Amino acid sequence: MSRLKESNLKRQERRSRAMALGDLARHGVGVFCWCNRCAHQARVPIEPLIAELGAGFAVPELGARMRCSGCGSKDVATRPDWPSLGRVARHGAEEEPGGAPA
């Protein structure tokens, strides 16, 4: 295989791999979690996760190890807590009288 093709394949592999906890630590962000059952949301600091699981642990795999503190479900999804992404859903948004979101 040519060196150019090999370097392109390595670059694509780096882009397509999931973010690891160590990557988030370098960017200074935590982990955003949400429950697919009750829509409870939480932000988890990165330091305790790295201490327990290691810097190479993939962020998407965290959900399988978590339990919702709201309903106890193990159906939890995780992503980096990038500040620009904001809330995932409007669940829990304050409502005006009559049921309309504030």
Dump pLDDT digits (tens) for 76-85.
999 998 886 5
pTM over 0.85: no
DSSP 60: G
Contact 42, 30 (CB under 8 A): no
Residue range 8-51, pLDDT digits in tens: 777 766 666 788 999 999 999 999 999 999 999 999 999 999 99
Beta strands in 11-83 (DSSP E): 31-35, 41-44, 76-80
pLDDT value, residue 102: 43
Instruction: Report pLDDT for 11.
Output: 72
Helices (H), the chain: 3-16, 21-27, 46-53
Query: Residue 66, Cβ neighbours under 10 Å: how many?
Result: 19
CATH (residue range 18-80): 2.20.28
